[in-house]
């Protein structure tokens, strides 16, 4: 059928009769196959398109929720939601689409648990002291300490944890991050810069305390 249509477009012959005929041809085979094949095929193509992003989905949820059990529940819920609306997905970036759903599902749970700690509620006072004496070189020395980095990152507000995970771990572009977090491109850049600064501060505070 695609051949027919294409050839006609090429010649500008798209007329009334042939369009009607195409409708007729298109429906007949569909009617026989659809009832039992389509859901299975849809599941197969859904899994093929979305399961490769399972690690990315889990990682994002885990950073947002800071809890393994919640993360798994959210990811499962997100996959179900994604499957239900998969028919409406025609984009090319399956990972960004799935991560958007994972993110929204995570925030729903965070809000329900009153655990949303957005940037606005981030208390600068607690994190603003005791690190002035720590030099960038010292931070760098400690920056490879996975445990320390994890603790510092877990201290950050959700929006910062999310943007750091998307950028540093998934290597997503600013555009993809903007789509997932539903913020303008300019905000991605400024939020990322602030998130990195805050992470450095948290690291510095921890290093300062250790000394």
Partner 1 sequence: MDGYLDGELDPITSQAIEQHLRECHNCDQAYKTQRSLIRAIGNATPYYKAPSELRERIQSSLRKEMAERPTRSVARDVQPLFSRRQPQPRTIGWETSWNWLALAAAVIFAAIIAWNLGPRLQRPGANQFLATQLIASHVRSLMANHLTDVGSSDQHTVKPWLDAKLDFAPAVVDLSNEGFPLIGGRLDYLDNRAVAALIYQRRKHFINLFVWPAAPDETRTPKTITRQGYQLLHWVESDLNYWAVSDINEKELQEFKQLFEEQSVPH
The site for partner 1, by CB under 8 A, has a size of 78
Among 29, 33, 76, 126, binds partner 1 (CB under 8 A): 76
Q: Does 55 bind partner 1 (CB under 8 A)?
A: yes
Residue 108 interacts with partner 1 (CB under 8 A): yes or no = no
Which of positions 160-179 make contact with partner 1 (CB under 8 A)?
164-165, 167-171, 173-174
Figure out which of the listed residues 104, 117, 127, 139 binds partner 1, where binding follows CB under 8 A.
139
- Closer residue to partner 1 (CB): 117 or 196: 196
Q: Which of residues 85-104 bind partner 1 (CB under 8 A)?
A: 95
Task: Confirm if 14 and 8 have CB atoms less than 8 A apart.
Answer: yes
200 in contact with partner 1 (CB under 8 A): yes
Q: Is residue 153 at the binding interface for partner 1, with CB under 8 A as the rule? A: yes
**Contact between 111 and partner 1 per CB under 8 A:** no
Q: What is the smallest separation between the CB atom of 106 and partner 1, expressed in angstroms? A: 13
One DSSP character per residue, the chain reads -HHHHHHHHHHT---HHHHHHHHHHHHHHHHHHHHHHHHHHHHHHHHHHHGGGHHHHHHHHHHHH--HHHHHHHHHHHHHHHHHTGGG---S-HHHHHHHHHHHHHHHHHHHTT----GGG--HHHHSSS-TT--HHHHHHHTT-HHHHHHHHHHS-HHHHHHHIIIIIS---HHHHHHHHT--HHHHHHHHHHHHHHHHHHHHHHHHHH-
Binding residues among 4-33 for partner 1 as defined by CB under 8 A: 4, 6-8, 10-11, 13, 15, 17-18, 20-21, 23, 27, 31
Q: Interface with partner 1 includes 51 (CB under 8 A)?
A: yes
């Amino acid at each position: 059928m695609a051949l027919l249509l294409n050839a006609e477009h090429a010649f500008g012959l798209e007329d009334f009769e042939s369009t009607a005929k195409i409708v007729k041809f298109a429906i007949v085979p569909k009617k026989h196959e659809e009832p039992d094949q389509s859901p299975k095929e849809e599941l197969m193509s859904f899994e093929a398109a979305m399961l490769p992003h399972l690690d990315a989905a889990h990682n994002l949820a885990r950073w947002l929720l800071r809890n393994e059990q919640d993360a798994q529940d959210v990811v499962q819920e997100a996959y179900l939601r994604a499957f239900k609306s998969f028919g409406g997905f025609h984009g090319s970036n399956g990972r960004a689409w799935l991560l958007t759903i994972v993110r929204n599902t995570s925030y729903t749970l965070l809000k329900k648990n009153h655990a949303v700690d957005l940037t606005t509620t981030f208390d600068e006072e607690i994190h603003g002291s005791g690190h002035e004496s720590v030099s960038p070189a010292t931070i760098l020395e400690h920056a490879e300490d996975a445990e320390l980095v994890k603790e510092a990152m877990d201290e950050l507000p959700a929006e910062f944890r999310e943007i750091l995970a998307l950028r540093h771990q998934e290597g997503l572009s600013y555009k993809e991050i903007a789509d997932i977090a539903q913020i303008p491109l300019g905000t991605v850049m400024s939020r990322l810069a602030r998130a990195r600064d805050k992470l450095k501060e948290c690291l510095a505070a921890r290093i300062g305390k250790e000394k």
